[in-house]
Amino acid sequence: MKKQNLVIVGGGSTYTIGMIMSLIAEKKNFPLNSITFYDNDEKRQEKVAKATSIILDEYYPELESFHYTTDKETAFTGIDIAFIQIRTGGLQMREMDEQIPLKYGVVGQETCGPGGMAYGLRSIRDMIELVYDIKKYSKDAWILNYTNPAAIVAEALKREFPQVPKLINICDMPIAIMHSFATMLNKNIWDLVPSYFGLNHFGWFTKIEDSEGNDLTQIIKDTIMGEGFVPTDQEIANDQSWQQTFEQARKMLIDFPEFLPNTYLQYYLYPDDLAKKESLTNTRARQVINGREKRITELCNQIIQDKSTKNVELHVDIHGVYMVKAAASLVYNLKQTYIVMVENNGIISNIPDDAMVEVPALLTASGPKPFSVGKVPTFYKGLIENQFAYEKLVADAYFENSYTKALQALTLNRMVVHVPTAKAILDDLIKANKGYWPELQ
């Protein structure tokens, strides 16, 4: 097995330590020669990197090298694979994305609704630049992107790089949900075989089977209806916000028992209830700043102070393991199945070919080979087409600098609908995102 040279773009992220623990846990399946961190925030990255260096000395002594840098050429030269996990504007801008819509009674959320649009219009430019730069210095490198809002980022990257191979967008929400299925069924998560369709943060499991082909879907539905649904991955299991989110699966199943929903559908199906529950001064970004970010900063400080991990608790999370396993399947041609984003081209036969859909695919060295889904029922087709039109219009607004397209996007979004509301939110978002967004005319 050839050892890989990996760059993590967004090295200062609160997810990086979890990713490092996942790389350590998976080192037999995805052996590394070097790890490099790249970030444009030198200070933030430095702390995570210093702690990482100590963790790696203890748990990955065979690793040839670990570096961190803010220089793209240094970061991207001679690499085999890049994981991209950036957040343009940081958690501060996430908070604005969540607060501004909420002032108008509309859900404020990282990737859904107007907040998702705002974040999308910030992410696209950086993502395009990064893909050009990585390809410039390492043209054969794989790029695994999980930067949000992944649906909009995937749509924009597809347009900018229609011919660029080895670029794949992936999200951890389906596997985080499957983690809960596996716990509920007392099964190994990697033995579950999902059938799934939709767009990113906008999809449904149609079936869950075990490795012997037994259909477990009804047991899962019955358990959720009877006992509710809870997050079980360690990273989110004790988080109140995620607990509430998972609990909504029950309500969605009662209303629409056909398929098992992705948790993000709650924002689209019950927007008013969710907007009412949120508090302007404590949206999710604030909770993450006071929660995960604080916890990771303290953890890094402790490791750096002790020059050892002896006084901290480190754990592997499903998010990291999923990305690493998917990467291994791509670079070693393992042909394992993961749920990823690909251009539709007939996979879901009754929605547009150019939609970036999220479906199970075999990950091979020549790219993802998705399984066919066939026709989806009218309700889902309608929802997906509406959402895809919104996502396309956001990308249009970016590439055409179009105010009208952005307004059309928000008007189509199920969380907004009313044009005056869309306009008011859009105008506020434009002010808040000055310097990040293209100038909309």
| Residues of this chain that bind Mn ion (CB under 5 A) | 171, 173
Catalytic residue among 97, 172, 317, 428: 172
Instruction: Identify which of residues 15 and 38 has a Cβ nearer to ligand G6P in the complex.
Output: 15
Identify whether the C-beta of residue 79 lies closer than 8 Å to the C-beta of residue 47: no
From the list ligand G6P, Mn ion, none, pick the one residue 428 interacts with, judged by a Cβ distance below 5 to 8 Å according to partner type. none
CB of 49 to ligand G6P, least distance (A): 21
Instruction: Identify which of residues 319 and 405 has a Cβ nearer to ligand G6P in the complex.
Output: 319
| CA-based nearest residue to 256, from 354, 138, 430, 376 | 376
Instruction: Output 434-441 pairs: Cβ under 8 A, ≥24 positions apart.
Output: 436/88, 436/89, 436/93, 436/121, 436/122, 437/118, 437/121, 437/122, 438/121, 438/125, 438/397, 438/398, 438/401, 439/401, 440/397, 440/401, 440/402, 440/403, 440/406, 441/401, 441/402, 441/403
CB of 63 to ligand G6P, least distance (A): 27
User: What's the chain's Rg over C-alpha atoms?
Assistant: 21
Q: Which residue is nearest to Mn ion (CB)?
A: 171
State yes or no: is 172 an active-site residue. yes
From the list ligand G6P, Mn ion, none, pick the one residue 131 interacts with, judged by a Cβ distance below 5 to 8 Å according to partner type. none
Instruction: Identify which of residues 96 and 407 has a Cβ nearer to ligand G6P in the complex.
Output: 96
Instruction: Identify which of residues 173 and 440 has a Cβ nearer to Mn ion in the complex.
Output: 173
Other CB atoms within 10 A of residue 2 CB: 9
From the list Mn ion, ligand G6P, none, pick the one residue 425 interacts with, judged by a Cβ distance below 5 to 8 Å according to partner type. none
Residues making contact with ligand G6P (CB under 6 A): 110-111, 148, 171-173, 284, 288, 319
State yes or no: is 267 an active-site residue. no
From the list ligand G6P, Mn ion, none, pick the one residue 26 interacts with, judged by a Cβ distance below 5 to 8 Å according to partner type. none
From the list ligand G6P, Mn ion, none, pick the one residue 284 interacts with, judged by a Cβ distance below 5 to 8 Å according to partner type. ligand G6P
- For 359, half-sphere exposure in the C-beta direction (CA atoms, 13 angstrom radius) is 23
Tokens coding 160:
């900018």
Catalytic residue among 264, 380, 390, 398: 264
| CA-based nearest residue to 245, from 223, 267, 224 | 267
CB of 399 to ligand G6P, least distance (A): 23
Chain position carrying tokens 């999710």: 284
284 is in an annotated binding site: yes
CB of 176 to Mn ion, least distance (A): 9
Q: Which residue is nearest to ligand G6P (CB)?
A: 173
Residue 97 parent element (H or E): helix 90-103
Identify whether the C-beta of residue 111 lies closer than 8 Å to the C-beta of residue 285: no
Rounded CA-CA distance 250/246 in Å is 8
148 is in an annotated binding site: yes
171 is in an annotated binding site: yes
Angle at 335 between CA 334 and CA 336, to 5 degrees: 95
Edge-first strand listing for the sheet containing 260-261: 193-199, 202-209, 260-261
CB of 291 to ligand G6P, least distance (A): 8
Instruction: Identify which of residues 173 and 342 has a Cβ nearer to Mn ion in the complex.
Output: 173
Q: Which residues are annotated as a binding site for substrate?
A: 94, 148, 284
Catalytic positions, written as ranges: 172, 264
Q: Which residues are annotated as a binding site?
A: 94, 148, 171, 201, 284
